[in-house]
């Protein structure tokens, strides 16, 4: 799984460099986020710019990370959704659960 | 080890035999290739130590024949060579010889070569035993899964809900593995209400199947409970029909996932009044139901909704629509719309909808048959899917 982490203005930007976040990647992705949270990160921006498709397992992994970080009084926000993933977030009402920004710079300017 | 020494020199055979016997090997002997071959047909032999140049069948020919006929157990082949004969080592290796020993044979060298052969054969034997154990374990899991798949399939409804009913129901079900996370059902709540659901547990395979089966049980008992309550009162009272959004809310509380798992599901639950055509339904992140009129007009129903078991604070809404005679309602899991063709393009909602529009005037039976063929063609001739697929089609007709 290709992932890029970078600390910007006190926020950990996690960029998933994959086209699909599906059942094949979900477990590894969930565990990676769990590890980052256990290392003490409390503000995570998940950048999904390259992701064209998220299936239900992938969505489960993201929500599981949100629950984990919320339990530590942190927050996980999302940016740069492509059209197909954006409509998936709308269909499942996850656009009501996550703060979603159009770009990384917008997310950082609002949250930082 | 069981060794076979092959040489046209009886003296050499005798010496080799004596040396090997002193190391507690069982030793057989033959004086040419053909004789060796005859022995090999009847006796189990681990190591062949054979001269190259012999009458009738030479060492190279014997080695080739052994390799050609080898089925299960490997025979280790040591070729005796002599520097006075100009022999082609490469052709012997290609024929399948494992080792070479030059003549005149130094007995210590022979013992060392046979020792190394024993080591390799023992390794091979233990590998074979492990493979057999692995295959046995794999076969066991597969046969257990086949039983589980049969059990899951048996949970599916058997066909039309009632003979001569004004509701015709057909479905398609194909798990991506033997068992899967998709399941659906439909049944009468009372004389005029049919409840139905189609659900898809996140992921696929065994874990998803286990949750889908428990959900099937919970939902069936839920249904039965309410039809009991209705039977005790008069059939006209519909207050006892539990609102679909409440069913969804209950399931969300009961099956809320914990932080370590990500098992949740998407679902459509609906109740159709088969006298009036009034449909109440709740969409929990499941793909939009498709409504096709008898004239072939298509509508995508619903506004989305939270999945079940994912978020504690989920809110669910019941929507309603009035079906008219000839309307078809299609419920499906995302395995169908997301299945890709050879260019990796997903089928998508629009194409699926177009299919039902184009086939609005064929019978329900033919519809499922044509859909199967359509998906088969879309997948490039293989009816295999990376996700579970399920689809249920209802056709409502005005009661006579």
Question: pLDDT tens across A30-87, in order?
Answer: 999 999 999 999 999 999 999 999 999 999 999 999 999 999 999 999 999 999 999 9
pLDDT at B228 over 60: no
Q: Is the dihedral of CA B219, B225, B226, B230 positive or negative?
A: positive
Low-confidence winner among B48-57, B95-104, B227-236 (lowest mean pLDDT): B227-236
For range B131-154, the mean pLDDT: 93
CA-CA distance, A63 to B240, in Å (whole number)? 35
pLDDT at B392 over 50: yes
Question: pLDDT tens across B172-193, in order?
Answer: 999 888 888 899 999 888 888 8
CA-CA distance, B13 to A74, in Å (whole number)? 83
H/E/C letters for each residue in B294-361? CCCCEEECCCCCCCECCCCCCCCCCEEEECCCCCEEEEECHHHHCCECCCCCECHHHHHHHHHHHCCC
Q: Residues in chain A, how many? A: 112
H/E/C letters for each residue in A14-48? EEECCCEECHHHHHHHHHHHHHHHHCCCCEEEEEC
What pLDDT does B398 receive?
Answer: 83
Low-confidence winner among A80-84, B196-200, B262-266, B360-364 (lowest mean pLDDT): B262-266
What pLDDT does B386 receive?
Answer: 85
- Range picked from A82-91, B16-25, B255-264 for highest mean pLDDT: A82-91
Within 10 angstroms of residue B298's Cβ, the number of other Cβ atoms is 18
Considering CB atoms only, which of A23, A60, A90 is closest to B310? A60
For range B132-150, the mean pLDDT: 93
Are B285 and A64 within 8 A, CB to CB? Answer: no
Choose from B259, B268, B313, B388 for mutation: most chain A CBs within 10 A.
Answer: B259
Are B262 and A90 within 8 A, CB to CB? Answer: no
Put simply, whether B387 touches A (Cβ < 8 Å) is: yes
Contact between B351 and B134 under an 8 Å Cβ cutoff? The reply is no
- A55 interaction partners in chain B (CB closer than 8 Å): 202, 334, 338, 387
Orientation angle between helical segments B348-358 and B364-378, nearest 10 degrees: 140
pLDDT at B235 over 70: no
Report the helix count and the strand count for chain B, using DSSP H and E: 10, 15
pLDDT at B234 over 50: no
Characterize the bridge pairing of strands A75-79 and A100-101: parallel
What pLDDT does B84 receive?
Answer: 66
Q: Return the residue matching tokens 């065994």.
A: B206
How confident is residue B165, by pLDDT bands cut at 50, 70 and 90? confident
Considering CB atoms only, which of B259, B304, B338 is closest to A67? B259
Are B259 and A71 within 8 A, CB to CB? Answer: yes
Q: Is this complex's ipTM strictly greater than 0.85?
A: yes
């Amino acid at each position: 799984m290709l992932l890029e982490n970078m600390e910007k203005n006190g926020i950990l930007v996690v960029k998933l460099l994959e086209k699909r976040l599906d059942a094949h990647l979900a477990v590894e992705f969930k565990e990676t986020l769990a590890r980052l949270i256990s290392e003490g990160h409390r503000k995570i921006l998940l950048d999904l710019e390259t992701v064209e498709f998220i299936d239900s397992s992938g969505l489960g992994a993201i929500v599981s990370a949100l629950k984990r970080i919320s339990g530590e009084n942190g927050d996980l926000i999302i940016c740069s959704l492509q059209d197909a993933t954006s409509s998936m977030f709308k269909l499942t009402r996850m656009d009501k659960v996550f703060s979603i920004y159009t770009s990384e710079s917008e997310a950082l300017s609002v949250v930082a | 080890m069981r060794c076979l020494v092959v040489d046209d020199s009886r003296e050499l055979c005798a010496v080799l035999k004596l040396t090997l016997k002193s190391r507690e090997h069982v030793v057989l002997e033959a004086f040419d290739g053909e004789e060796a071959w005859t022995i090999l047909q009847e006796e189990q032999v681990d190591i062949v130590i054979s001269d190259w140049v012999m009458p009738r069948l030479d060492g190279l020919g014997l080695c080739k024949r052994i390799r050609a006929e080898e089925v299960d157990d490997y025979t280790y082949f040591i070729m005796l060579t002599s520097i006075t004969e100009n022999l082609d080592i490469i052709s012997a290796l290609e024929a399948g010889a494992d080792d070479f020993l030059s003549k005149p044979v130094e007995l210590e060298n022979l013992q060392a070569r046979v020792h190394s052969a024993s080591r390799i054969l023992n390794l091979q034997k233990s590998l074979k035993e492990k493979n057999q154990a692995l295959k046995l374990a794999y076969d066991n899991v597969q046969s257990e899964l086949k039983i589980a798949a049969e059990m899951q399939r048996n949970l599916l409804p058997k066909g039309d809900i009632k003979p001569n009913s004004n509701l015709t129901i057909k479905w398609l079900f194909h798990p991506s593995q033997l068992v899967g996370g998709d399941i659906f059902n439909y049944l009468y709540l009372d004389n005029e209400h049919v409840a139905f659901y189609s659900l898809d547990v996140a992921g696929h395979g065994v874990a998803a199947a286990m949750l889908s089966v428990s959900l099937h049980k919970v939902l069936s008992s839920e249904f039965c409970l309410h039809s009991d309550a209705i039977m005790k009162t008069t059939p006209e009272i519909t207050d006892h029909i539990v609102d679909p959004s409440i069913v969804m809310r209950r399931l969300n509380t009961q099956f809320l996932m914990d932080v370590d798992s990500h098992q949740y599901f998407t679902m459509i639950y609906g109740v159709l009044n088969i006298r009036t055509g009034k449909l109440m339904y709740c969409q929990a992140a499941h793909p939009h139901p498709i409504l096709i009129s008898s004239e072939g007009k298509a509508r995508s129903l619903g506004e989305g909704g939270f999945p079940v078991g994912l978020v504690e604070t989920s809110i669910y809404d019941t929507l309603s629509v009035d079906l008219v005679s000839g309307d078809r309602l299609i419920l499906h899991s995302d395995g169908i719309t997301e299945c890709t063709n050879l260019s990796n393009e997903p089928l998508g909602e629009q194409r699926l909808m177009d299919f039902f529009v184009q086939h609005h005037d064929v019978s329900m039976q033919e519809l499922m048959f044509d859909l199967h063929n359509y998906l088969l063609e879309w997948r490039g001739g293989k009816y295999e899917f990376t996700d579970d697929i399920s689809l249920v089609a209802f056709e409502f007709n005005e009661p006579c």
